[in-house]
Amino acid sequence: MSSVGHIGSLCIRRSPSRLLCGRPKDLGTHSREDASLRKDPEDRGLFRHHGAGSALGRTRVETRREGRVVHWSFLTAQLSNSPKPAPLRIAFLGCGFITGVHSRHLTALRGDVVASYASRDRAKAEAFCRTHQGTASYGDYSDAINDPRIDAVVIAVPPRWHLDLTIQALEAGKHVLVEKPAYLRMEDYRAALSARDRANRVVLVGENDHYKPLAVRLRRLLAEGTIGDMVFAHFTTIAKRLKAAGDWRNDESMAGGDAFFEEGIHWLHLAGSLGPSIVSIQGYRPPASREGADARAKSMMVAFRYDNDAVGALYYSREIPSLLRGLRLSKLFGREGIITFESNGAFVLVRAKGVPTLLFPGFRDMRGYQAMYRDFVRSIREDRAPEMSIERAIDDQRLMDQIYGSIVL
């Protein structure tokens, strides 16, 4: 669906997507040859169906309202004798904050994914199961891993235990989605890779930022040459978000490293996943403040060069006050234009040839969790590698190793 409007010299384009299955109640009944629309009396609509020969077809609607033509494009399910695949039965290992985040996003995929919950605290697992309408709860991770009713596990515990749980799950024949940072050292990634290949199962590294609409839109703009040859890339993520004394992230043996290692990995991935590859990188870390309960190093600046000879910098901090708890602008500079974007994905402003264009990549799945789970489900059903495979995560870990190896203490 695409609609375009103009405000002065600024072009505003909205590109949300919609997936309609079966008989959308707002569009009435339809078949491949014929369709009808429930329209406003003022609307004159044309409803066409495209894409025979597959489970999904594309329907295009042109609606004329008050002299404007608006084009709507939907994916619609065609009648098929094939039964709907059974939902993927997953078990969360760990019932902390991030499991709650995942679970809330999974409400949009109830027909494709059903969840259960495991915790070393049985009461906590039961509470999560009730809150998020799960199907089962477990008082031990191994109970969920060894349950034959479970197809896959989501490893959502501190990174210290990721590798051990990954190998246990793969040896039990389960597919794995492991939160990021997935593992602590490069040899851990190689061990997980070998275990995955022996088990012939899917392992997806939970880099949701890879799937979020902002990343998808930036990759598309660069691939289309919107700003010509890229010269500079500038990424900024700054906010004051200190951890409490009892937070496991304050223990580097559990988190794997400081704040940048544990959370900055998401931003490093964004910088390195837009098309050009980072080929060299250098880290600069200011002295850590030891005041307060959060004693970690919480700031890092990295400078890097892409394989297209563009250069860039990433500014990361979780100890500097920021407007609206982290609203910041990042930029991609090219010889034919500039892309300015809100670092979290709220908007993208393109200034290139022609009128500046303001884009809204998408708010429905702004953090990319739903797209990530769809990739996980499809990878399992289609027996293919996910976009965020272990191999792709190894590229990020290699950059991390270079960053921390380059810091002069």
pLDDT of residue 81: 62
Number of domains in the chain: 3
CA distance 397 to 406: 14
Task: Answer whether residue 139 is part of any domain.
Answer: yes
Look at residues 150, 184, 206 and tell me which one is the last residue of a structural domain.
Answer: 206
The count of residues in the chain is 409
CA distance 262 to 254: 10
User: Do 202 and 217 fall within a single domain?
Assistant: no
pLDDT of residue 332: 98
User: Do 185 and 255 fall within a single domain?
Assistant: no
Task: Answer whether residue 330 is part of any domain.
Answer: yes
Look at residues 206, 234, 267 and tell me which one is the last residue of a structural domain.
Answer: 206
User: Do 191 and 223 fall within a single domain?
Assistant: no
- Asked if residue 179 lies in contact with residue 96, where contact means CB atoms within 8 angstroms, the answer is no
User: Do 263 and 310 fall within a single domain?
Assistant: yes
Task: Answer whether residue 275 is part of any domain.
Answer: yes
**Residues spanned by the domain of 133:** 88-206
Task: Answer whether residue 82 is part of any domain.
Answer: no
What CATH number corresponds to the domain at position 319? 3.30.360.10
Look at residues 180, 206, 232 and tell me which one is the last residue of a structural domain.
Answer: 206
Closest to 242 in 3D by CA, of 280, 201, 296, 278:
296
User: Do 219 and 202 fall within a single domain?
Assistant: no
pLDDT of residue 84: 84
Task: For residue 79, count other CB atoms closer than 10 A to its CB.
Answer: 8
DSSP sequence for 298-361? -EEEEEEEETTS-EEEEEEESBS--GGGT--EEEEEETTEEEEEETTSS-EEEESSSS-EEEE-
User: Do 95 and 71 fall within a single domain?
Assistant: no
pLDDT tens digits, the chain, 409 residues: what are they? 444 444 444 444 444 433 333 333 333 333 333 333 333 333 333 323 333 333 344 444 444 444 444 444 444 444 456 788 999 999 999 999 999 999 999 999 989 999 999 999 999 999 999 999 999 999 999 999 999 999 999 999 999 999 999 999 999 999 999 999 999 999 999 999 999 999 999 999 999 999 999 999 999 999 999 999 999 999 999 999 999 988 999 898 899 999 999 999 999 999 999 999 999 999 999 999 888 888 899 999 999 999 999 999 999 999 999 877 678 999 999 999 999 999 999 999 999 988 999 999 999 999 999 999 999 999 999 999 999 999 999 999 999 999 999 997 6
User: Do 202 and 146 fall within a single domain?
Assistant: yes
Task: Answer whether residue 239 is part of any domain.
Answer: yes
User: Do 114 and 178 fall within a single domain?
Assistant: yes
Task: Answer whether residue 225 is part of any domain.
Answer: yes
pTM of the model: 0.80
Task: Answer whether residue 392 is part of any domain.
Answer: no
What CATH number corresponds to the domain at position 179? 3.40.50.720
The letter for the amino acid at 85 is P
User: Do 129 and 152 fall within a single domain?
Assistant: yes
Main-chain dihedrals φ then ψ at residue 96, nearest 5 degrees:
-110, -160
User: Do 97 and 225 fall within a single domain?
Assistant: no
How distant, in Å, are the alpha carbons of 104, 106, 142 from that of 123? 20, 22, 16
User: Do 253 and 349 fall within a single domain?
Assistant: yes
Task: Answer whether residue 265 is part of any domain.
Answer: yes
User: Do 224 and 359 fall within a single domain?
Assistant: yes
